[in-house]
Amino acid sequence: MQVNQSKISLSDVKDEVLAVAVLQGKELPKELSEVTKHMRKEEFEAKQGQTHVLSTLGKFKFSKLLLYGLGEEKDLNLDFLRRFAGSAVRYAVSVKSASVSIALPNVKNASEAAAQAIVEGAVLASYKPIKFKSKQDDYFEVKNISVVSKENIDEALKRGSTLAHSQNYVRDINENPANIATPQVLAQAARDLSKQQGLACTVFEKSDLQKMKMNAILAVNQGSVLPPVLVIMEYNKDKKDLPFYAVVGKGITFDSGGISIKPAKGMQEMKYDKTGAVTTLGIMKAVSELKLPIRLIGAFAATENMPSGSAQKPGDIITAYNGKTIEVLNTDAEGRLILADTLAYVAERKPQAIIDLATLTGAIIIALGRYRIGLFSNDDNLAKNIFDAGEQTFERVWRMPLDKEYSEMDKGDFADVKNIGSEMGDAGSITAAAFLQEFVGDCKWAHLDIAAVDAIAEKHSYLDKGASGIGMRLVVESLARLAKK
């Protein structure tokens, strides 16, 4: 989707559709009064999310006016503008208009943020998970978005477009099922992205992992015929004077549960257990395109978790990369195992902060529902940075505790730690995070449990059903804020 700015009056818009957002109790734009003056107030009250379409009857060069309610000004949230733009794109699709103009609302002291949010909503709404459909012609695509404003918003439009297209990149890869998105395919995606964006990229194959004693990754991989990989991408690798951070993602390309096999119902959704790794790719793409003034590592291990005669078994004890021994009580708690080796390896590089993303626990859905990401951290400033970034991007987080008592729950009877804190499932997401903390050393670290938000069950204003890419804009915004500090 192409995004541009139109520095024209609303009355001069030539696209078939013009979308205008209105605050409740505020007047409609006077230059559109030829169309709106006969509209009854009860037809459109500008309540949040309300839409109303008017035909211009030839009085303007555009033929359809879409009005969108933003609700009361005191309740205005930037995400309402993403929803507005998403609704505009979806309406344009319904009338088969390849171009749509969206008016930038008058938001106090936030024109750039508003413009960025509008572009994000429009571009995200344009993505359809249809690449495996045999009849592509059945789906109409909006190809051009014009944001109508006389303000200087060019940089905001570019930033919003970069972020949203990077999120769609994440969604597109994540929709690939396990027979297509193998560990080797994810590694190749990292190589291709690195070549395109000028990143350094190292892919450690199974023989490398054996030499490196990445035994936790190898243990999870034992049941699969496909070998594992560990991918390390680096942005601004040689610029040692820049602030240095790392992002780590969980890359289980399919999670059957292993010997502790999952129920059949819903198991097809385990293709999304690679979301953390794929989101890491999107973060590296966005950070490099935005040219953030930081040095960044993007790392992920990728493997399947499958049952077979060679699969790891409950009761197995393995020695992780950092020398800690792990008692495997449940082979379905495998994500934390591959993260353990990856985090320990990255921590050796001494970044100023590590942020990991993982579809780690179903328990986080019970704790927070599907509206917030679980945030765990050993550093208050880093946690606040991520929380504030989440409020800005509307990829919201909620900080969970990491008291010592939870780490005590992870202590093993026959090894240093066990891979589940309680067989009863008590504090499942917290003990999982406490387990990860054992492998970050002295680094400042934050863990994002994205299991509740990795996929959308029913489409909303700007995200279709399927892979969401949620977490990508959150982490990029967090890194941008860290860079400023």
DSSP H or E stretch at residue 159? helix 154-174
- CATH number, domain containing residue 122: 3.40.220.10
294 & 376 share domain: yes
308 & 422 share domain: yes
Task: Report the distance separating Cα 74 and Cα 171, nearest Å.
Answer: 33
Which whole number is the average pLDDT over 397-408? 97
Counting every residue written for the chain, the total comes to 485
Boundary of a domain, candidates 105, 124, 152:
152
The per-residue pLDDT for 109 is 67
* pLDDT at residue 108 tops 80: no
Domain membership of residue 256 (yes or no) is: yes
* pLDDT at residue 40 tops 90: no
Domain membership of residue 85 (yes or no) is: yes
Which whole number is the average pLDDT over 285-302? 98
- Structurally, how many domains does the chain consist of? 2
- CATH number, domain containing residue 455: 3.40.630.10
**Per-residue pLDDT tens for 447-457?**
999 999 999 99
Domain membership of residue 430 (yes or no) is: yes
* pLDDT at residue 5 tops 80: yes
Confidence of residue 363 (pLDDT cuts 50, 70, 90): very high
213 & 86 share domain: no
Boundary of a domain, candidates 129, 152, 175:
152
Domain membership of residue 158 (yes or no) is: no
Which whole number is the average pLDDT over 364-377? 97
The per-residue pLDDT for 110 is 79
Q: Are 295 and 244 in contact (CB under 8 A)?
A: yes
Whether 211 is catalytic is: no
357 & 212 share domain: yes
101 & 218 share domain: no
Evaluated on CA atoms 176, 180, 183, 188, the torsion sign reads negative
Domain membership of residue 287 (yes or no) is: yes
The per-residue pLDDT for 41 is 85
Whether 336 is catalytic is: yes
**Per-residue pLDDT tens for 169-206?**
999 999 999 999 999 999 999 999 999 999 999 999 99
Q: How far is the CA of 282 from the CAs of 241, 343, 394, in angstroms?
A: 24, 19, 18
The per-residue pLDDT for 52 is 97
Q: Are 175 and 303 in contact (CB under 8 A)?
A: no
In this prediction, what percent of the chain has a pLDDT beyond 90?
Answer: 94
Residue 320 token pair: 């992780």
Q: Smallest Cα–Cα separation from 220: which of 191, 253, 246, 263?
A: 253
Confidence of residue 36 (pLDDT cuts 50, 70, 90): very high
Confidence of residue 425 (pLDDT cuts 50, 70, 90): confident
221 & 138 share domain: no
Domain membership of residue 329 (yes or no) is: yes
Q: Is 0.75 surpassed by the pTM of this model?
A: yes
Please provide the average confidence, as pLDDT, over all residues in the chain: 96
Q: How far is the CA of 430 from the CAs of 246, 270, 374, 376, 379, in angstroms?
A: 22, 21, 9, 8, 16
262 & 284 share domain: yes
355 & 445 share domain: yes
Task: Report the distance separating Cα 178 and Cα 137, nearest Å.
Answer: 26
181 & 41 share domain: no
Catalytic member of 171, 250, 336, 444: 336
Q: Smallest Cα–Cα separation from 172: which of 128, 226, 135?
A: 128
182 & 91 share domain: no
Task: Report the distance separating Cα 248 and Cα 184, nearest Å.
Answer: 18
Sheet strands side by side (includes 295-305) = 200-204, 229-235, 295-305, 244-255, 353-358, 445-449, 373-377, 397-399
Which whole number is the average pLDDT over 65-84? 96
| Helix/strand/coil for 22 | strand
Domain membership of residue 387 (yes or no) is: yes
Q: What is the pairing mode between strands 17-22 and 99-103?
A: parallel
87 & 212 share domain: no
Domain range for 269 is 165-484
Boundary of a domain, candidates 152, 177, 205:
152
Which whole number is the average pLDDT over 407-416? 97
138 & 173 share domain: no
Catalytic member of 158, 262, 370, 372: 262
* pLDDT at residue 330 tops 90: yes
Domain membership of residue 159 (yes or no) is: no
